[in-house]
Chain A
Amino acid sequence: MRRYGERTALDGVSVSVPAGSSLVVFGPNGAGKSTLLRVLATLLAPHAGTTTVLGCALPREGWKVRGRVGLLGHEPLLYKDLSARENLRYHARLHDVRSERAEELLDQVGMWLRADEPIRELSRGMVQRVAACRAVLHDPELLLLDEPASNLDPAATAALEPLIGRSSGRTRVVTSHDPAGGLKDADLVLGLRAGKAELHGSAHDFDAAAIGALYA
Chain B
Amino acid sequence: MFAANIHFPDHSEYVAGAYLVFLGLLLIYVAIMAYKLTRFERELVELNELADEQGGITGHAGRTGHE
Let me know if chains A and B touch directly in the complex, using CB atoms closer than 8 Å.
Answer: no
List the interface of chain B (C-beta within 8 A of A): none
List the interface of chain A (C-beta within 8 A of B): none
